[in-house]
Structure 1
């Protein structure tokens, strides 16, 4: 395969430094059972992106949106397995290598350039997720407590409600993100996903009841101009490819990991599809970019929305930890640096203030870094790792994903940026 002996020692040395994604799971002492692996996959993938799916289905049409969602789910699973196969191949060839993360694999395959590429994508994607969290929390709180028919454009201390709530979160996030270890925060991650699943269930039941009453006019297919928009949101919704190698490492029966991952992805895609379709069916053309704001001002709706806000608020430091691992490793010799973390939180806050629309931002992050991280890099690493063994169809599939992923990323990023700037203007 072309790996030299000196490369093995170099890889082994670099692969021992802190990983950019392992802290999200914490330090696990025992290998995971199939059921725990299934749950870990669910926790790693399900996030705030699902809340923008009903609005996306309004833009793309519910049939086109569903086809796109399931296609992205399949391709995401396929590329996740490419990472697993590439890791197994390299570890079998270089006995001393221990590849525990996406960045480790990037270094083993492409050297420092590979690790730099993964590090950059990890920073942009994880920070992007946290920007969307702040936007969701601020917009939801503003909708619940400030907007009314009598006063549609209120101000809080001279700021818009969105800006006021984002800045209100800032000092608390400085404190949470200053915690050097995630041991105390780990239970919040599990709580957040359980609460989000419960909230999704409540929202879907409400959607069915509202649809039976209103039966709005629905579109099955949108135009080609919204294809890349929908693709970006769908890719964003299936976040978590950076966790697949740590998850596979912690699985007790590694031969069954592919099947468990496939079952988890199938379940998640059905859940996402039902959530998106039911949300659009309930509200039709009135579907908003954050579906929970369509539910009105009732007690149940308020409880669900506040629960989601609390969960995403406490998920922020968990999702930012991979960013800190990379930044501190590259700029502070791997040591804890509180002022560097504060600067990153400040930068994320400014970006959240600048982005006007939740779903538009999901599309931007999904179209840019998530497509590269989820499709382009796994295919490239697999192509390099197996370059001497791939048959023509394997080479063609990897090359096709690299080329199409790059085209989609470039075009999707430009269309999402034009969408955001057009709304700001």
Structure 2
């Protein structure tokens, strides 16, 4: 297309003509997905090699790092010192001969949701059931799963509504920026950083408690929490973690996410088998419902166990049939809820009041039990650098001009280690993180974004629903955080 114009023609039409002649049409209008306005030129979970993978904190949730990394506010022009050193091939969509992005089928989406949500937090569920009761714990898990699914779909609906005005929303943080500007992005970033750092504290706490159980050293009368058996194991790990967290690229650590998934599922299978055998042999007394304080405690752990809000937008973007994404997501969440309920209830039914905060420490001293526990420790140890990466991205952007800073990473690793030494109980810590950060990130923010985006168009039912989620979420966050802190200060009986 060519047009002749005067050099002095400064009208908008002149600029439009120049724009039309500057590039072929297919370069100016990227192909859109079936959802109006949503562009498909981005990295997808299935197409990023590091994605076999937030988590969670959990080993299985190393997928969350890259699902959440875009929320940290780094676009192509402002890559962080961490993200810019990833293998570019690992972060670009793979193209076939036709040049089209490869999208995920429903089974693959189901598997990605499972991998993203299920993590080591599940190992604290039996102890939580010993506090809430087996029936109350099961109901809590189902309710939290349903609410988590609802809030995930609120994010999807909000992105669809903004697709024409903001076609490049690829993450939770992007959505926050589109809805509330810089304040929205910074809020999401802060919550994600807190959650990632908390996950890593949980990693070190799990590893140290497990090793202290398997290989007791020192005594229980240490004069300082920095000198307990748990703390000594953390001190021993820190030099190696400093080295691992100094690595500039995550590509070398990516295969560990697959190992983490396999070990997690294997551990759950072994624990369920031993739980069933123990329950049939002993059948200790159990109860169905605990008091209000225990319910709040269990709510925090349940929210923590289902934390995965940061992955929903990338997963929906890569789904081949976006109309069926909601159904696939719901089916996956329902499956996880049933599996969680079975795992938590069986652990509590098997050991009763003697259920420990990490269920694997209730297992015997057989070689299979020890192998499972050591396998979990190893994969958590090597997954921690991956989970810390979003923290480094934000810290290096704010404090070191987006440049790599090994000394800043070392400070953060030592800080995380010190926090892990001071936390007395694994499940108590899960409840604290779930009640505070995860409730705000998973429930309050999605409802607030949806309310702002939809406005009066959602009608009274939707308006009441969003306002109720925000109000109840804030109330539960405050009360649950207070309950969890009080429990951590007073100490748990089975730490």
CA–CA distance in 2 between the matches of 1:219 and 1:206? 21
Q: How far 1:21 moved relative to its partner?
A: 10
Structure 2 CA distance for partners of 1:108 and 1:333, relative to 1, 3 Å: farther
How far residue 253 of structure 1 moved from its aligned partner, in angstroms, is 2.1
Residue-by-residue CA offset, 1:233-288 (whole Å, 9 max, x unaligned): 00000121111112222222222211121111111111111110010010000000
1:226-241 correspondence to structure 2 within 5 Å: 226-241=294-309
Partner of 2:126: 54
Return the TM-score normalized by structure 1.
0.90
Which residue in the other structure is 2:339 paired with?
A: 271
Shift in Å at residue 193 of structure 1?
1.2
The answer to whether 1:41 aligns with 2:119 is: no
Partner of residue 141 from structure 1, selected from 203, 206, 211: 211
One of 463, 472, 481 as aligned partner of 1:404:
472
2:260 is equivalent to residue 188 of structure 1 = no
Out of 290, 307, 310, the position equivalent to 1:242 is: 310
Partners of 1:69 and 1:279 lie apart in 2 by 15
Contact 2:201 2:419 in 1 (8 A): yes
What does residue 330 of structure 1 align with? Answer: 398
Q: CA deviation at 1:177?
A: 1.5
Q: Report what 2:49 is aligned to.
A: none
Q: Within 5 Å, which residues of 2 pair with 1:74-113?
A: 74-92=146-164, 94=165, 97-113=167-183
Taking CA–CA contacts closer than 8 Å with sequence separation of 6 or more, which of the two structures ends up with the larger relative contact order?
1
Answer yes or no: is the 8 Å Cα contact 2:440–2:474 preserved in 1. yes
- On the 8 A contact 2:443/2:473 being kept in 1, the answer is yes
Q: Residues 192 and 312 of structure 1 are in contact (CA less than 8 Å); yes or no, is this contact kept in structure 2?
A: yes
* Secondary structure in 2 matching 1:389: helix
Moved more, 205-214 or 14-23: 14-23
Structure 1 gaps, min length 5: 1-12
Say how many residue pairs are matched: 404
Query: In 1, Cα distance between the equivalents of 2:110 and 2:387?
Result: 20
Unpaired runs of 5+ in structure 2?
A: 1-72, 95-101
Q: What displacement does 1:328 show?
A: 2.5
Give the equivalent residue in structure 1 for 2:196. 126
Contact preservation (8 Å) 1:232, 1:362: yes
Q: 2:414 aligns with which of 346, 358, 369?
A: 346
Determine which structure has the larger helix proportion and give its number. 1
Instruction: Tell me how far 1:323 sits from its aligned partner.
Output: 1.7
Q: In the aligned structure 2, how far is the partner of 1:346 from the partner of 1:153? A: 24
* Residues 21/237 of structure 1: CA separation in 2 closer, same or farther (3 Å cut): farther
Judge conservation of contact 1:47–1:239 (CA < 8 Å) in 2.
no
Note if contact 2:219-2:228 (Cα within 8 Å) is conserved in structure 1: no
| Contact 1:368-1:409 within 8 A present in 2 as well | yes
Detail structure 1 runs of 4+ shifted over 4 Å in the superposition.
13-23
Q: Indicate if the aligned counterparts of 1:146 and 1:154 stay in contact, CA closer than 8 A.
A: no
1:14 to partner: Cα distance: 7.7
Pairwise CA distance, 1:389: 1.1
Q: Partner residue of 1:10?
A: none
Does the 8 Å CA contact 2:205/2:426 hold for their aligned counterparts? yes
Equivalent residue runs for 1:202-351 within 5 Å:
202-351=270-419
Alpha-carbon shift at residue 398 of structure 1 (Å): 0.4
Distance 1:316 1:14 in 2: 21
**Is the alpha carbon distance of 1:98 and 1:334 closer, same or farther for their aligned partners in structure 2, counting shifts above 3 Å?**
farther
Equivalent residue for 2:485, pick from 407, 417, 421:
417
In the alignment, the residues of structure 2 paired with residue 385 and residue 15 of structure 1 have an alpha-carbon distance, to the nearest angstrom, of: 23
C-alpha separation in 2, matches of 1:99 and 1:329: 21
Show the counterpart of 1:366: 434
2: distance between equivalents of 1:334 and 1:220?
Answer: 52
Match of 1:5 in 2: none
Question: What TM-score do you get using the length of structure 2 for normalisation?
Answer: 0.78
Cα deviation for residue 15 of structure 1 reads 5.7
Question: What secondary structure is seen at the aligned counterpart in 2 of 1:104?
Answer: helix
CA change 1:152–1:297 in 2 (3 A) is: farther
Q: Tell me, what secondary structure is at the counterpart of 2:162?
A: helix
Deviation at 1:105, TM superposition (A): 0.7
Q: Deviations over 1:49-91 (max 9, x none)?
A: 1111000000000000000011001101110111111112112
Q: Pick from 95, 98, 103 the counterpart of residue 31 of structure 1.
A: 103
Q: Which has the larger radius of gyration?
A: 2
Q: CA-to-partner distance for each residue in 1:400-422, whole Å, 9 max, x for gaps? A: 00000000001111111111111
CA-based RMSD of the aligned residues comes to 2.2
